[in-house]
Structure 1
Amino acid sequence: MDRSSYKLYHKHEPDSRTMLETYYSGDLDTALKDDTLTVPVEKMHNALAMGRMTGNIMIDISTGPLIHDLYPACEFFQEIILMRTNEQCIMEIMKWQNDRTGAFSWGHVAAHATNLEGKSDECEVKELKLKSAITHVVKFDPETETLTDLLGVTQADCIISYGFLDVVCKDQDDYKRNLRKILNLLKPRGHLILIGGTNATYYTVGDHRIHMLTYDEKFVRNALVAEGMSILVSRVFIYKEGILQVMHKLRQKVPLRGDASK
């Protein structure tokens, strides 16, 4: 299929509810649920449990109305700011956060996260804690030259980006430019958790094929090192459903100059 026929995520805005029900519902078969929910939440839990990442502010720059990876994060960061390009995504998140009728249920993820923490009887507590931790949901245009003016906060202690660069970047140069914009939101010696699909070309939402940038692990490593990042942990795993390879990377930003304490 001609790549020019693929939809662009941030321009064509694929239906958010269809995306959630297709890939993130509690009713998925085991293999797909492991790929999209179980394994990512476990990876996030394990990365945070290492104890390197804590602080006041986490910024989440991801695709879709996705919050599943934030259930472990709300135990480590006091404030979580979501940045999304899609108005539908923001509406879905706000419906869930404000307990509105028809909101998508993430209860199955809350149950999994609390099981990982050995607190299986605290699902409702976990749900409330995450809702309380999310203080802002900010809409932004990924083509904006700088993202720092959008947030009335200091730089983040940690940034998580789940699939964002994969779908908004037209080519590898575009990836590097957008990566730099994200890193400008990060404090010196802050951490970046970057999750993306290697060697992919598209994913489907309903009848639509959504563009994904094709790249490999070496390219991402080189792009991060070029921006002054030190790679602490790198993980690659293959989806059981064969949808795409997922690369889970934990990064630490190292100051390019000056004293780290400044």
Structure 2
Amino acid sequence: MDCGPKKFYHKHDFDCRSFHDRYFSDKPDMVFGDDTLTFPMVNFHYVFSSGFVKGDVLIDVSMSSLIHHLYSACDIFKDIIILKANERCNMETSKWKDTRTGAYHWGHASAHAAKLEGKSDQFQDKEKQLKTAISHVISCDFENENITYPVVLPLADCVTSIHILEAICKDEDDFMRNLGKISKLLKPGGHLILISVLNTTYYMVGGVKFSAFQSEEMFVKNALQKLGFVIDYCSVQRRKNDSSLTDYDAAMFITACKTK
């Protein structure tokens, strides 16, 4: 176990496969499934099937090469653009999208998405549908005001973001700046969907300790409101597992509309 200074997901070597195995897989010893898979996928299914989040373009700004949260989105959005702040995770995402040899297996997530829609026997179709909807996988850099510079993207109808803010931010000012940069990807009237873990300071990946920004529910809500968002829906689930791999207290799903 690494006892040195904590590292940051977007600045240091990050083993996304080990991260997925520990926190997002269907392996027997993976204890986080209720919080990392079931909770977000149920809430995404609810939000998208309810009809108040809709449009043509969705931009996803999430950590690692996570895609499980996008299965419900591909029923609505014709164009899904994925941004990655870590080049290794960019390559892993592209490998999965292009069905290349050695791509990470997300079959357990597509099966769960199909089950939520009452179509358990169509999970392979679900995976194909999502891959078809993803038009681009692009590198991004939060050091730039336009995080996709020099590429200028169309403003999105919806932006989804899983765990990226706690993975790249050091303090509250950092959080506000980076949340503001994500907000600029979204058109007025569009929706931002955030999934965060609350009150966390670290997470382990392959024996290496990575830093996590420690935030509370009200801080995140207040940050959104300061940036001109109105919160439509919020769900918080207390941690349901026992593991020293990370120290979060709860998982939070929040949907907010950009008013300006």
Q: TM-score, normalised by structure 2?
A: 0.93
Gaps of 5+ in 1: 256-262
Identity score, percent: 43
The 5 A counterparts of 1:97-136 are 97-136=97-136
Aligned length: 254
Q: Aligned AA for 2:64?
A: G
> 3-state SS of the aligned residue for 1:55?
coil
2: CA distance between counterparts of 1:208 and 1:38? Answer: 26
Q: 2:11 matched to which residue of 1?
A: 11
With over 3 angstroms needed to count, the CA separation of the structure-2 counterparts of 1:216 and 1:81, relative to structure 1, is same
Corresponding residue of 1:171:
171
* 1:1-262 equivalence runs, <5 A: 5-29=5-29, 31-147=31-147, 149-242=149-242, 243-244=247-248, 245-255=250-260
Tell me the distance in 2 between the aligned counterparts of 1:252 and 1:13.
35
Paired residue secondary structure (2:58): strand
Sort the Cα spacing of 1:105 and 1:116 in 2 relative to 1 into closer, same or farther, 3 A.
same
For normalisation by structure 1, the TM-score amounts to: 0.92
Shift of 1:38: 1.8
Once the two structures are superposed, residues 76-96 of structure 1 have per-residue CA deviations (whole angstroms, 9 ceiling, x without a partner) of: 111111110111111111211
The worse-fitting range, judged by mean Cα deviation, of 242-251 and 85-94 is 242-251
Amino acid at match of 2:114: T
Once the two structures are TM-superposed, the CA of residue 239 in structure 1 deviates from its matched residue by 2.2
For residue 233 of structure 1, give the secondary structure of its aligned residue in structure 2.
strand
- Output the CA distance in 2 between the equivalents of 1:149 and 1:10: 16
Q: RMSD of the TM alignment (CA)? A: 1.8
Contact 1:82/1:137 (<8 A) preserved? yes
Counterpart CA distance in 2 for 1:122 and 1:58 is: 23
Q: How far apart, in 1, do the equivalents of 2:189 and 2:24 lie?
A: 33
Q: Is the 8 A contact 2:237 2:252 kept in 1?
A: yes
Q: 1:215 to 1:206 in 2, by over 3 A?
A: same
Q: Which runs of 5+ in 2 are unaligned?
A: none
Equivalent-residue separation in structure 1 for 2:39 and 2:59 (angstroms): 21
